[in-house]
Amino acid sequence: MTTTLVTGASGQIGTTLVDLLSAQGQTVRRATSRAPSQPGEVQVNLATGEGLAAALAGVDQLFLMAPPGYANQHELLIPAIDAAKAAGVRKVLLLSAMGANADDSIPLRRAELHLERSGLAWNVIRPNWFMQNFHTFWLHGIQTQGQIFLPVGAAKGSFIDTRDIAAVAAKLLSSDEFVNAAHDLTGSEALDHNQVAAILSKAAGRIIGYTDIPEDAMRQGLLGAGLPADYAEFLLVILGAFKAGFAERITDGVQRITGRAPIRFEQYAQDFKAHWA
């Protein structure tokens, strides 16, 4: 029986991935940053490496992602890749981000290249912006003022549902059909934030709008929310890439790997409408 360690196991992608792998009959070890409270959980701190060697003992596969809040992702991910190789792990699936391969100096790209050169079986998935951001990171403005506040102009994004990312990851961790390759993942259509707001409004039964805000207003909001300054700047850079049009591209990755079309934004909005109603 295959044993897979899932980092970020309590997050949007990880929770669904754990369920999918378990349904396949895999033994899933769930990495958490907190003290374990349930069977199958292991405590891992990727920032310090604490608990990683023990968590990897006897593991066949690793789903690896950087925890949020860190701009220096490679400094956390590269040691984890090396630890996986030392532990005898066969395959590592790395969660990156669409556009990370634009420059080899980008932290996530440095981790990708290290994995590719590691001698391990590998996959990299690079999803576009998550639909789920609208009921998590961008939720406060919607709840308090009925507005999505972002500095991205009228640019479009091919948003992807995290459930599709998990479905792709589950396929890659159950088969070697697509091994040793990177896959850019998007939804099936590109929408601007006025279109997003209209879809959310219809699902929630209330008016939700979009306000294009200055970059510095976004910066102050991120810092006010307690984000580290370097991570806030990282987010502003990738939001700038969105505004420049780099998030509009559509790929067939979800369809090609899972055999089904990506979840549409309307379906996401219906499934999570209670957050905005």
Any idea what the CATH number is for the domain that residue 146 is in?
3.90.25.10
Q: What is the pLDDT of residues 21-40, one digit of tens each?
A: 999 999 999 999 888 888 99
Q: What is the pLDDT of residues 106-162, one digit of tens each?
A: 999 999 999 999 999 999 999 999 999 999 999 999 999 999 999 999 999 999 999
Percent of the residues in the chain that have a pLDDT greater than 70, as a whole number: 100
- Containing domain of residue 83, as a range? 3-127
Q: Distance between CA 90 and CA 76 in Å, rounded?
A: 20
pLDDT at position 43 is: 97
Cβ-based burial of 86 (10 A; exposed 0-12, middle 13-18, buried ≥19)? exposed
Closest C-alpha among 99, 205, 219, 104 to residue 158: 99
pLDDT at position 251 is: 98
pLDDT at position 37 is: 87
Residues 200 and 122 in one domain: no
Judge whether 164 lies within some domain: no
Residues 77 and 205 in one domain: no
Residues 72 and 134 in one domain: no
Residue tagged 């066949």 (tokens) = 60
Judge whether 85 lies within some domain: yes
Residues 225 and 89 in one domain: no
Domain count of the fold of the chain: 2
